[in-house]
DNA sequence: TGCATTAGGATACAATTTGTATCTTATTAA
DNA sequence: TTAATAAGATACAAATTGTATCCTAATGCA
């Protein structure tokens, strides 16, 4: 017997509320063990609402993290990049932007997003968010390297996979050593890795 | 009404069977949606057996992937490393070993392992596997670099975090671009990244 | 303003799953 | 050989699932 549910919301309001409630529930209950029943109760809505949208909790989780990641990548933080006058400075700024991005939405969101995407590879859902973010990233990297060139700092020609190195490194740090990302660490990533790799 | 279950196994036999069955089930059913009922039936055993060991499916999954990762890192593949005569050759051999490791057990195992560890960070379980593997790795890297030194190939002094780069890169490749790891890619990782980073 | 459409919410129901408890019995170790 | 151990069967109430049907508030369009 489901009690009176009095809040009545529609569309995005409802959706965001469901996302929030689910995220909050996951602070106590592990994603593997969460149920639609619990979510419906906590969100003060009916299970029908959930089943109309998602066949299983897994699909709900996928949507949650895709939504969060989308908002993240849609941000225009890269537009705010300035020419710092040196490749080193540009790299540090670049890493700082991405690190900021991880901090704002939380490393867990991004890590979960990437993980759930991977679990679903057989379904081959369109990785819209992912590719959009990658395009943005690649363009930013190319700009940085071109500016260095025109500034007189000679730059190496690298493969596309290697061009992903800064992005990969930030991701790895947030996945494996999330508590350990200081400004000093970002600088050492630039001085010990990025500059030797990209600068002649 | 549970039907007659005739297979009777104990200890590790039983445990490994449960792991295998669960892994196999997960090829069809997402980890979030799997049930003890299904596992017990597929494994031809009783739910009691499962509940005695794990309170929830999440805990079972954690044990599965920890076990798999453990077996992986326990391997003595690093002992088989030869002196190839050059830092470049040693790096390529080194990456090849780790890549082999990922292939044998499957990249998904390690990815799941890291994911479940992340989800459990508040519990702060001892990351036994992780640190043991790291020690092994660090020692191998130091050996490689020392050999290069004594060979006359000058080597840079880097931070401990940067010393993780080869390991991180293999992990990242398997996480993000698992279908794309050719010998050629491994060589480009050495030529475009590792040598510029570690060699003077 | 009024009316049709849309979508949230309540309820019901059978089937499945959960968590726990109790009992039997094959296997192990002493 | 016997006692301890652990696997397996069964039962049961509570919770969850998946689906279907009905009601009604909000929306949009004429």
CATH 1.20.140 fits A69-198, yes or no: no
Angle of helix B165-176 versus helix A165-176 axis, rounded to 10? 100
Instruction: Give the tokens for residue A121.
Output: 């590879």
Ranges of chain B with pLDDT below 50: 1-3
The residue that leads in pLDDT, B85 or A121, is B85
| pLDDT value for A178 | 81
How far A122 CA lies from chain B's nearest CA (Å)? 10
Name the residue with tokens 């799997």. Answer: B34
Considering CB atoms only, which of B34, B158, B189 is closest to A192? B158
pLDDT, chain A, mean = 88
| pLDDT value for B4 | 52
Domain boundaries, chain B: 11-53, 63-198
Report pLDDT digits (tens) over A46-89: 999 999 999 999 999 999 998 988 877 777 777 888 899 999 99
Q: Counting beta carbons within 10 angstroms of the beta carbon of residue B2, is it exposed (0 to 12), middle (13 to 18) or buried (19 or more)?
A: exposed
- Across the interface, whether the CB atoms of A168 and B165 are under 8 A apart is answered no
Report pLDDT digits (tens) over B105-127: 787 887 788 788 888 766 555 56
The CATH-assigned architecture of domain A11-53 is Orthogonal Bundle (1.10)
- Residues B183, A117: Cα–Cα separation, whole Å: 26
Decide if B58 touches A, using CB distance below 8 A: yes
B13 within 8 A of B45, measured Cβ to Cβ: no
Q: Work out the pLDDT band at A128, boundaries 50, 70, 90.
A: low
Cα A194 to the chain's mean position, in Å?
Answer: 22
In the complex, which nucleotide's C1' lies nearest to the CA atom of residue A51? Answer: D18
Long-range CB contact pairs, B114-119, < 8 A, 24+: B114/A175, B114/A176, B115/A111, B115/A112, B115/A115, B116/B58, B116/B61, B116/B62, B116/B65, B117/B62, B118/A108, B118/A111, B118/A175, B119/A30, B119/A31, B119/B58
| CATH of region B63-198 | 1.10.357
The residue that leads in pLDDT, B48 or A123, is B48
Strand C lies under 7 A from the Cβ of residue A6: yes
Cα torsion angle, B188, B189, B194, B197, sign: positive
- Residues A49, A52: Cα–Cα separation, whole Å: 5
- Across the interface, whether the CB atoms of B108 and A115 are under 8 A apart is answered no
Longest CA pairwise span in chain A (Å): 74
């Amino acid at each position: 017997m489901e009690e009176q549910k009095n809040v009545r919301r529609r569309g995005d309001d409802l959706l965001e509320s469901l996302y929030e409630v689910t995220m909050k529930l996951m602070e106590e209950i592990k994603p593997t063990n969460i149920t639609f029943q619990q979510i419906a109760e906590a969100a003060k809505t009916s299970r029908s609402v959930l089943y109309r949208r998602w066949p299983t909790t897994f699909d709900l989780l996928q949507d949650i993290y895709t939504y969060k990641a989308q908002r993240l990548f849609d941000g225009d933080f890269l537009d705010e990049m300035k020419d710092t006058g040196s490749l080193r400075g540009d790299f540090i700024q670049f890493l700082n932007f991405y690190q900021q991005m991880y901090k704002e939405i939380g490393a867990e969101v991004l890590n979960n997003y990437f993980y759930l995407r991977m679990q679903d590879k057989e379904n081959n859902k369109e990785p819209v968010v992912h590719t959009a973010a990658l395009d943005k990233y690649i363009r930013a990297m190319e700009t940085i390297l071109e500016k260095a060139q025109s500034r007189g700092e000679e730059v190496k020609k690298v493969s596309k996979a290697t061009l992903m190195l800064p992005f990969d490194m930030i991701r790895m740090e947030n996945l494996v050593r999330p508590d350990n990302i200081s400004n000093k660490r970002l600088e050492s990533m630039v001085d010990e890795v990025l500059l030797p790799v990209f600068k002649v």
